[in-house]
Each structure stands twice: as structure tokens, then as C-alpha cells.
């Protein structure tokens, strides 16, 4: 006997379930997906980044939050929890609960081996559809490296990279420069082996 297909959730049903859940969940195309927990190093990089951005934006009308804030990418599409969210001006929300942001200016994801392909591929493409978004950054845990994708006036996205502890990374959307040495302060990097070439048949 075949299993009955699970009914798809509406965004409203997802929000109700996620708000009552002990764990964070993403939503896409009617389905809810549990998000895996991060490591101490992952959390430390997020804390360092958040602190540096908050310091740089202290006199600006911008707000920086960590990964507890949900972002709605599209009304019936992706709802997710970026590692760092920056909103400038008045934050816009899905509803009166004020836990789901609609207008981020800058989103940052700290990469991990289990999520890197997802963050670089599907999630990156989804993020680029957010009308308010000006920059999307990927931060490595394997080496001191930050990749920033910046929206250009004609709508294309330009990649810039900052590599090494002596480098600095500039976020044009919020006019803030952070030193990679500060982003990786007290962080023990976890170099990953490059993929091995396939053996010849």
C-alpha cells in the first residue's frame, strides 16, 4: 500500500508551526525543512561579523542581527534564517509578530561543508531575487576568505574576494569595511581537503 502524499503547507501554516517549534525550520514550495545546528566556530565567526558590522553602523540607521531572524525571500517561496541580516531604514515584516523580515540590504552566510553547495547554488539564486538586497556574502571556515556579490545598477552581480588575515572586506551596501583578522578573531580554521580527481577508468 503506497503512502499518502503529505499535504503542502501554506506560508501561514509554516509560520505557525515554525514559531511553535523548538528548532528553526526553512520553508520552500509548500514544504518545511529542519535546519541543522551550527558548530562553535560557525557561531564565533557570526558573532565576530555581527560585532564588526554593528560597530561600523553605530551612527547609521541600519540594524544588524544574527541567525535568529527569519527572512521571506518570496511570498510563496523560500523562508529561511541567514547567518547575518542587515536592514537599513525601517524594517518591514510579514505580519505583526516582527520575526520575518522582508527588506534586507545585506545577507551573509558562513559556509560549512554540509551547506556550502546549497548556500552557493540554490540559496544564492533565491537571495538575488529579493528586491531590496544589495549584497550577499559568503564567509569561509576553511581559510580567511570572504566573497561578496554586489548588485550593479544594471541588475547584474559583481563578485569581489578578500583573502588572508591581512586583508579587509568592504560592504558597499552599508559603507562598512571589516578586517578579516577581526572576523576570524579567536577562530581555529578547519581546512578542508580539496576534492580528489576521479580515477582513470
Confidence of residue 192 (pLDDT cuts 50, 70, 90): low
Residue 166 lies in a domain: yes
Task: Find where cell 553602523 sits.
Answer: 57
| 21, part of any domain | no
CATH number for 94: 3.90.1570.10
Is residue 7 domain-resident?
no
Distance CA 201, CA 185 (A): 45
- 122-145 tens-digit pLDDT: 999 999 999 999 999 999 999 999
In a domain, 170, yes or no: yes
Cα dist from 174 to 56, 132, 158, 182, whole Å: 9, 13, 16, 18
Residue 12 belongs to a domain: no
| Ramachandran area for residue 147 (φ above 0: left; ψ -120 to 50: alpha; else beta) | beta
Q: Tell me which residue range forms the domain holding 64.
A: 38-183
At 195, is the pLDDT very low, low, confident or very high (cuts 50, 70, 90)? very low
Is 178 domain-assigned? yes
Domains of the chain: total: 1
Contact criterion met (CB below 8 Å) for 146 and 29: no
Is 3's pLDDT higher than 70? no
In a domain, 76, yes or no: yes
Q: What is the pTM of this model?
A: 0.89
pLDDT of residue 196: 42
Residue 63, domain member (yes or no): yes
Amino acid at each position: 500500500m503506497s503512502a499518502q502524499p503529505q499535504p503542502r503547507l501554506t506560508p501561514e501554516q509554516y509560520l505557525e508551526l515554525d514559531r511553535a517549534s523548538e528548532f528553526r525550520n526553512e520553508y520552500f514550495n509548500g514544504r518545511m525543512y529542519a535546519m541543522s545546528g551550527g558548530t562553535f566556530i560557525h557561531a564565533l565567526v557570526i558573532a565576530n561579523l555581527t560585532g564588526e558590522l554593528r560597530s561600523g553602523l553605530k551612527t547609521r540607521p541600519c540594524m544588524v542581527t544574527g541567525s535568529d531572524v527569519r527572512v521571506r525571500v518570496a511570498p510563496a517561496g523560500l523562508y529561511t534564517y541567514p547567518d547575518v541580516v542587515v536592514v537599513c531604514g525601517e524594517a518591514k515584516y510579514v505580519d505583526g509578530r516582527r520575526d520575518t523580515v522582508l527588506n534586507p540590504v545585506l545577507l551573509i552566510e558562513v559556509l560549512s561543508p554540509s551547506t556550502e553547495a546549497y548556500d552557493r547554488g540554490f540559496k544564492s539564486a533565491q537571495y538575488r531575487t529579493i528586491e531590496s538586497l544589495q549584497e550577499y556574502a559568503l564567509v569561509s571556515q576553511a581559510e580567511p576568505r570572504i566573497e561578496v556579490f554586489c548588485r550593479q545598477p544594471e541588475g547584474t552581480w559583481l563578485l569581489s574576494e578578500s583573502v588572508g588575515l591581512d586583508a579587509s572586506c568592504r560592504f558597499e551596501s552599508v559603507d562598512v569595511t571589516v578586517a578579516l583578522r577581526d572576523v576570524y578573531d579567536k577562530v581555529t580554521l578547519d581546512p578542508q581537503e580539496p576534492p580528489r580527481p576521479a580515477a582513470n577508468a
